[in-house]
Amino acid sequence: MMIIVIGITLCLPSAGLLLIENASQISQNIEHEAEISIFLNKNISKDQIDFIELNLKKNNLVKKIHFEPKLIAWEKLQTKLDVAVSSSVSANPLPDAFFISLNTLDEIKIKKLIDKLDGIDGIDSITIDGNWIKKLRIALSLGKLSVIFLAALLIVVLLVVIGNTIRLQTLTYKDEIEVSKLIGATNAFIQRPFMYTGILYGLGGGIITISILKLSVIVLNAALFKLVSIFGTDIIFKDLPHKYYLYIVILAMFIGLISSYISARNSIKRLKIYK
């Protein structure tokens, strides 16, 4: 029962870590929708427009380029408003514009690209919607902090639960402990079996945590496979790296060791075995 409790308890923050690790896959899918709008001067020549387009095509950060002539933009605006705007406006106020899709979320690279484009003649202004990028990063940061906070609380719970179990075991073996002390057993010798028990609790709990996470990944990927056939999206729920599973087992064993050591030592003191 103790091994199951440890396994399920550690599974909660581990599952949060699994979700955060997979959030990078979602962000990569969103990256392709990031756009920069480049508005040109009203009196720009056709040669200068071609020169700007050539520079955009040469840049490896640009994934897709869409040029919107001012006449087409003017017609779309009138259609959208469903009213003859030209009757009240004497000239077309809209400029020619490029709408480019980026393949990165790196703010430094995006800033360098904007600085490079600002130096080209014929470009009036450049706008980028970076708020959603900041919101995504803030959400991921909050998610990581939440997982760390949850893990810290659950570790405290595990320390108390394992320690209480070890304390009950020391009371159960009270007579054996007293006999061992009478025949010359040292304090470390008496505590050692309880520490081994705590380590085994942690090892078993860590294995159960890994098993639950592995099973969850398999089940989720099976469900996502059905979504792929329906919506045509290519989404795979990635498993945690193997080193993360090793960290989980080591952490579980360390929790068991610390809690069993403290609990056994204090319990044996209360039994007045130490002189």
CATH number at residue 107: 3.30.70.3040
Mean pLDDT for all residues in the chain? 80
Domain boundary among 110, 128, 146: 128
Task: Spell out the residues 6+ positions from residue 10 whose beta carbon is closer than 8 angstroms to its own.
Answer: 154, 158, 205, 206, 209, 248, 251, 252
Question: What is the pLDDT, as a whole number, of residue 270?
Answer: 76
Average pLDDT over residues 161-170: 89
- Do 100 and 146 lie in a common domain? no
Alpha-carbon distance values, 65 to 6, 229, 254 (Å): 54, 30, 55
207 and 89 co-located in one domain: no
Res 49: pLDDT? 86
Residue 275 in domain: no
Contact partners, residue 65, CB within 8 Å, separation at least 6 = 53, 56, 57, 98, 99, 100, 101
In a domain, 178, yes or no: yes
Q: Please report whether residue 41 resides in a domain.
A: yes
Is residue 161 in a domain? Answer: yes
Tally the domains of the chain: 2
Quickly tell me which residue has 């997982």 as its tokens: 147
The answer on 6 and 41 residing in a single domain is no
Whether 148 and 120 share a structural domain:
no
Residue 239 lies in a domain: yes
Q: Which of 50-59, 70-79, 241-250 has the lowest mean pLDDT?
A: 70-79
pLDDT at residue 143, rounded to an integer: 80
If asked whether residues 101 and 42 sit together in one domain, one would say yes
* pLDDT score at 257: 93
238 and 189 fall within a common domain: yes
Is the pLDDT confidence value at 158 over 60? yes
- The answer to whether residues 113 and 23 belong to one domain is no
Q: State which of 105, 128, 151 marks the end of a domain.
A: 128
Distant-in-sequence, close-in-space partners of 40: CB < 8 Å, separation ≥ 6: 49, 52, 95, 96, 97, 98, 122, 123, 124
Whole-number pLDDT of residue 85: 52
Domain boundary at 79, 94, 128, which? 128
Predicted pLDDT of residue 275: 47
Q: Are residues 169 and 192 in the same domain?
A: yes
**Is residue 222 situated within a structural domain?**
yes
d(CA 117, CA 103): 17
Q: State the pLDDT at residue 272.
A: 63
Q: Are residues 23 and 119 in the same domain?
A: no
Residue range 256-275: average pLDDT? 79
Q: Examine the domain organization and report whether 9 and 141 are in the same domain.
A: yes
The rounded Cα 103 to chain-centroid distance in angstroms is 20
Residue 215 included in any domain: yes
The reply to whether 124 and 234 lie within a common domain is no
pLDDT exceeds cutoff 90 at 207: yes
Shared domain check, 154 and 58:
no
Give the domain range for residue 84: 35-128
